Amino acid sequence: MINWTAIYVMWLREMKRYTRAKSRVFGSLGMPIFFMAFLGLGFNRMAVPGVSGGTNYIHFLVPGIIGMTLLFSSTMQGLSVLWDREFGFLKEIMVAPVSRFSLVLGRIAGGITTALIQSMILLVLSLFMGFRVAGAGSFLLALVFMLLIGFTFIGLGLIFASKMKDMQGFSIVMNFIVFPLFFLSGALYPLGNLPIYVRVLSYADPLTFGIDGLRGSLINVSTFPIGVDAAVMAGFSLIMVFLGAYFFERTESA
């Protein structure tokens, strides 16, 4: 049975932790802003192979950077599970008279909210660099893809956090997973420029469809039909959230 009070408390705790850690807020935005500033503005006047002639590189890049931010922020949500285990908070909530599924939903709600806040800040900043959203409807559709990307990789982070007990080890393992997912997604370059055998791996990467959906919704340029992107991401998000909840419910608190 879902306990909405537990979900709200877990969400509120994540929000307080996020807003009180000013270094975390600015640090999480540093790398995406540098990518947009140096790559976007640096290559904006150059013809990029594989990018349609009417699309500036900054327009191509911004959806990819937003997807990157969602990827890193969402997967690192698993680190809070290890942090809570380290300091005993996980043991306390595990013995509370609420379902573990409600605790999972609260963590996911907190993680998705912080990821969306970071993405919205980047989207606003990109407007000062020349990026333009196709319209209000496009923004709402992009918001759906942001949610799907967030759900997918929060679930992935929870899976690994539930099976690990070392915070340093978690960061190292996640880097081995996150960076290949990022570079295979086509966030920085068109997938058509990749060799065919690498492109096949890209099609197995859920972030590929998430970023393609963001581009399709924000600038009306995409490799796949936007309905295909949405269907693939919806499937991945359901699977990853289910697996994340399953493993978290069976994790050891100490």
The string of pLDDT tens digits covering residues 124-165 is 988 888 888 877 788 899 999 999 999 999 988 888 888 777
Q: Which domain holds residue 200?
A: 4-249
Report phi then psi at 88, rounded to 5.
85, -5
Extract the tokens encoding 225: 């039909």
- Say what the pLDDT of residue 46 is: 65
Sequence-distant (≥ 6) Cβ neighbours of residue 134 within 8 angstroms: 217, 218, 219, 220
- CA 231/CA 59 separation, integer angstroms: 24
Is the residue at 254 inside a domain?
Answer: no
Residues 171-213: tens digit of each pLDDT: 777 788 888 999 999 888 888 888 888 888 999 999 999 999 9
- Say what the pLDDT of residue 211 is: 94
Scan for tokens 């997918």, then name that residue.
152
Per mean pLDDT, which range of 40-49, 120-129, 168-177, 215-224 is the poorest? 40-49
Longest Cα–Cα distance of the chain, Å, equals: 60
Residues 50-82: tens digit of each pLDDT: 666 567 888 888 999 999 999 988 888 777 777
How many domains does the structure of the chain reveal? 1
Is the residue at 124 inside a domain?
Answer: yes
pLDDT classification of 106: cutoffs 50, 70, 90:
confident
CA-based radius of gyration for the chain: 18
- CA 202/CA 211 separation, integer angstroms: 12
- Say what the pLDDT of residue 6 is: 79
Sequence-distant (≥ 6) Cβ neighbours of residue 88 within 8 angstroms: 254
DSSP 2: -
Q: Which of 139, 151, 86, 117 is nearest to 21 (CA)?
A: 117
Is the residue at 210 inside a domain?
Answer: yes
Is the residue at 31 inside a domain?
Answer: yes
Is the residue at 122 inside a domain?
Answer: yes
- CA 178/CA 134 separation, integer angstroms: 29
Computed over every residue of the chain, the mean pLDDT equals: 83
